Every structure is written in C-alpha cells, then in structure tokens.
Amino acid sequence: MISPWHPSCSIFLLLSWLSLAESQKVAIIGGGLSGTFTSKYLVDLDGKGCNLDSITIFDPLPIGGPAPTSDDDWQGSRVSSVALPDGRIVELGASVFHEANQLVKDMIDNDPALEIGTPFNVGNDATIQHHVPPREGLGIYDGDGAWAYMGNKSDPWNTVKTVLRYNMDLYRVDRATQHALESFLEIPALLNSTAPDTFFESPDDMWQRVQLLKPTHASYSQLLDAMGIWAEDSWFHSLIPHGGYLGSLRRELLTAINLINYNQPNSHINGLVGLVSFAASKGPLYSVVGGNQQMIRSAFSQAQTNRRQNCQQGDGLNVVTHVAQRVTTVIGSMDGFELFAGQEVLGTFDAVVLAAPLQQCRIQFLIPSQFDSAVLQPMPLANAMVDTDKAESQKDHEGHPVLPDKLPDCSRRPFTQVVTTVVSGATLNHEHFHIDKDKLPRAVCVTERGKEKEGGITVISEIAGDGVYKMFSSNVLSEDTLKGLFGPGHTVEFVKTWGGPHGGATPDYQGQGVSVGYLLYDGATGLEGHTKNGALYYPNAIETALACMEASAIGAKSVAKLLARRFGIIQPSSRKSHNGEEL
C-alpha cells in the first residue's frame, strides 16, 4: 500500500480536496464525552436544514462501552465504570456531577432511559438483590496513626464542630464558591444565544465574560491568600496544638478534596479548579443510575435519532456514524483533511474536531509544504487568537483570525496520573490506621503528609458494606500494599490507569489555567473567502482551565457553535447580549 506521505498520494489527495470543496463532512476524533456531545450539539444546530453531509466519530472502542484497560489502544480519558460479577456497577472516576452542571443534566433529561440517582449508587434497586449500604463518615488521615479530621453527616453536631474547627475560613471559601457557581450558571444561556459576543473563540473569552478569568490565571493557594485564609505555616496555626479543636482548612479539608478530585495540592491547581472542587464537596450531587458512561452512549444515540427525524438519509448522507479506528495521521489543506489509521485511508473531511487531549492523542498533524505540495511538514497547530503585534499588518480572512507562531505551553503540559483500584470481599484493616473498627469512616481521605505515608493513595472509599472498596492512587498498588490494607482474602476486581500508558487523568495545572483557543488550525487563513473548510477545532482546550464532565460539555457546545457559524448553519444576530439574552 502507498504511504500517505508518498508524493503521488499527496497530489491525488490535494486534487480530491479541491473537488470536494463544497461538501460539509465533519470528523470527530474521540468517542468520549466531548466527542459525542459535540455530535449531538451539531445535529441540534443543523436541525432540519440538513446542511452537514455527515458526522463521523472515530474511536477504536465502542461508544459508551466497557471500561478500557491499559492494554486497549485508545486516546484520552473518559467517563467509565465497571460491573461486578453480581451486577453492581462501580463508577471508576469521581462518580458524581453537581446540581449546577446544567448541560450534563439537560443531556440526561433528554433521554427517558437515563435515571438520575444519588451519588455512589451501584445500579437500579430493582435489579440489585444483595447490595449492603456502606457505612457513613469522612476522615482525613495525616499518617502515622494521626487523624486530622473526622466528620459524619448523621451526627447532629457535625456542622457545628466543622464550623468551629475551620471558623471564618470556611465561611470565606464557601462565599467565594457560591459566587463562582452563580457565574458558572450563566454559561448555558450564553452558549444557547446567537448574539455575536457569545461565540467564544477560546475558554478564556468565556471566563472573562462570566468574570471567572482571574481565578483561572492564579493558583488556588494564591486565591486562598487573597481571601485571607490562614496558611498552615502561619504564626496563628503554629500556636494550635496538634489534634486540637482548631484546624487548618487549607492543609486538611481543601487539600484532601483536591487530592481526591485532581491528585494535586492547592498550589498546583488553579483557583477556579479549587472552587469547583469545593462546590462538589458541598452538593447537591447526583449520578446516573447504572454508570455515568451511559451519557456518552446516550449523546451519540440522541444525535443519530434526531438526525433521522430531521433529515432524509441515503447513500451515506445526513448520517451520524461511529468508525472503530484509531486515527494516527491527519493531513490538512485549505479545503479539508485526509484521515489515516496507519496507512489505511479513513476518508476526506471538511472539518475535524479533535475531542481528545493533544498530549494523549498520538496523532501526526501534517500539511503539504508551501514550496512543494508533494512534501509534507508538521501542521502549525496554534491558538487561534489574533496576534496583536501582527494585527495591523495582516488582515483577518472572513472571520478567520491570523494564527500566531506556536501553541502555548499550557497545551503541552503533562497529565497527572491517577489509578483506580476496585476490590471486593475486603475488610479494611483498622489497625493500619490506628483506629477502632467501629470508628472507621466510609471514606479515608488524606493530607499531603498522609498521601506520602500511604504510598500515593489519595482516598479509600467503601462502596458497599459487604467489602467493596474503591481507591485512587498515583501509581498501581502493589500486592503487598493491598494485603496490608485488606488482608489476604480480598479480590481485585479492576485496575484502571487513567489515560493508559500514554497520559493521565487531568492536566497538571501548574498553578494556572491559561487556555489554548478552540481553533487549532485554519486552512482558510489568507485565502480571501475561497473556502469555509479546513478547520481543526479542539473542545478539550477547556481542560487546561477546568476538567470535569460539565466543562467537557461546555467545550463541546462552544466548538459546535463555532463550526455551525463557520459553515453558515447559524448566523450571529445583530445585537449583543446580556447574560445570554439579546439587548
């Protein structure tokens, strides 16, 4: 077979692109939440206009299928769960979504087959026969037998004791979190608007609009400093006896929450991540009965169903399909893209949506050389924001901004590794934690010191009272570690390394959340209206500021909206908006 970068093949591909310049075929690389939600939003925006010839999702794994193992050839992390032999479902990630996650809730509400349940549910009560509820309580372990905090919602004095322990610090963080949630709740209305100032070219544009840009560009520690939250090394806390009634909110509760959700301390995450993480600890929280991965399958199914209802299908037109292939090469030009799996041609497309992290996708992005079209060179992936130094000398092309020289560092940061381990038939060794058996909490969280002492474990959570536990850790736990925690009688049901051998769970924020733009490459730049094709969009750009299910939905809807505008499916209205409503 001829290599995709053979000169004769390159010339043939260029001629093919030119002949197909008027078609509107969209390829989505990645079948996780970002990819499937993008397909649903594109179908909704296209409606009965049926302007898009096809939407094809490329992913080597089944859409919303079983949890991938580290041996599977997949691209990027995704929501997933595992079924135990008795039919109970254990979520492998953080398991929950917040009441403020409106886009996620809307997707669930549109599917009568999906049911919103309580956090940490293990499936439908009608089908689960022998589920034993877990115990209650949360503890923060500091290592060497020391517990920094113990809480139990069933204790009528729990709230009082927590408020007394963390005093005004708790109030300040709670107030800042509430303000952030109020701003966050403005986003769905803005994304539903067609006002010209609601087509956000980057996540930063959106954060600026809802007044959340500052916390994304500062570390959570810096934000806590600005709020006046006592640092653990302050003179005030140096006077507090170890294990006393007063504690450090930073060192204990906030650190434990962020280690669970992101496996990063307060100084490593940005301020917005910290606020959202704290909001998730408060609730109200929900989960899809039977596993949150059902949202992925549902979004894809909704896209297919709505397309069939809106558009007449035939000869491969007006369809939403899944191709079980891992894209390895994308060759772009002014008129579109050719996709390859190894040396196999997957098709020609007018726009591509990369719904997988750049750091984990393992894709070659190439374009023909300006000097010799038979020679391929790296595609100049870049943040599609106007370079102010060049803006006066270079004109924008039909709304396609001039590309700066290279991607910012944020798009190349590594991901933080997280491993989920699920065990059954286990009894947590209370002596290991120097605590009475009847006082063991349902969730054993840790401080930074506790994480170090426990070999990188960030949480041990009891899922069921008959010995089902889920753990997060920085690395795969050894057999000796598991025996020390649970004894020799436990069974390891599943081990998931997030991102597989090629990635991790969430970006290493490095104390900030600067984002790359949603448009990574524009083949139409400088062509004076020649084509609307040749655009490579990147909904995962939002992850560098915030990684959660709702953020993935926001990135997907933002990109679908930009792509629909580019193809003329929707047009910006003539008036600016105020909180999503036109003025």
What tens-digit pLDDT sequence spans the chain (583 residues)? 445 444 444 444 444 444 343 559 999 999 999 999 999 999 999 999 999 999 999 999 999 877 766 656 666 667 888 999 988 899 998 668 888 899 999 999 999 999 998 887 887 665 565 677 888 999 999 999 999 999 887 788 888 889 999 999 999 999 999 999 999 999 999 999 999 999 999 999 999 999 999 999 999 999 999 999 987 655 555 555 544 557 899 999 999 999 999 999 999 999 999 999 999 877 788 999 989 999 999 999 999 999 999 998 887 788 999 999 999 999 998 779 999 999 999 999 999 999 999 888 889 999 988 788 788 988 888 643 333 344 333 434 334 333 344 677 777 788 899 999 999 999 999 999 999 999 999 999 999 999 999 999 999 999 999 999 999 999 999 999 999 999 999 999 999 988 777 778 888 998 888 888 999 998 876 545 456 888 999 999 999 999 999 999 999 999 999 999 999 999 999 777 666 554 4
Cα–Cα distances (Å) from 151 to 112, 154, 287, 439, in that order, read 37, 9, 23, 11
- For residue 316, what are the β-bridge partners? none
Query: Burial letters for 400-429: b for 16+ Cβ neighbours within 10 Å, e otherwise?
Result: bbbbbeebbebbebebbbbbbbbbbebebe
Alpha-carbon distance of 90 to 112, in angstroms, equals: 22
Query: Burial letters for 122-146: b for 16+ Cβ neighbours within 10 Å, e otherwise?
Result: bbeeeebeebeebeebbbbbbbeeb
399-402 CB contacts, 8 Å cutoff, 24+ apart: 399/565, 399/566, 400/519, 400/522, 400/524, 400/525, 401/201, 401/519, 401/522, 401/525, 402/525
Cα-Cα end-to-end distance for the chain: 58
Q: What is the pLDDT of residue 238?
A: 55
Backbone angles phi, psi at 423, to 5 degrees: -125, 155
Alpha-carbon distance of 183 to 166, in angstroms, equals: 26
Q: Are strands 319-323 and 285-288 parallel, antiparallel or unpaired?
A: unpaired
Closest CA to 509 of 279, 273, 275: 273
Question: Where in the chain are the domains?
Answer: 7-63+293-414+512-582
Q: Are strands 468-473 and 419-424 parallel, antiparallel or unpaired?
A: antiparallel
- For residue 521, what are the β-bridge partners? 536
On whether the CB atoms of residues 504 and 414 are closer than 8 A, the answer is: yes
Closest CA to 91 of 461, 384, 343: 461
- For residue 473, what are the β-bridge partners? 419, 457
Backbone angles phi, psi at 123, to 5 degrees: 130, -175
Alpha-carbon distance of 424 to 533, in angstroms, equals: 52
Kindly give, in sequence order, each residue whose CB lies less than 8 Å from that of residue 573, ignoring residues fewer than 6 positions away: 193, 194, 195, 196, 582
Q: What is the pLDDT of residue 25?
A: 96
Amino acid at 76: G
> Starting at the edge strand that comes first in sequence, how are the strands of the sheet with 116-117 ordered?
97-98, 285-288, 116-117
Q: What is the pLDDT of residue 154?
A: 79
Structure tokens at 63: 């859409």
CATH 3.50.50.60 fits 7-63+293-414+512-582, yes or no: yes
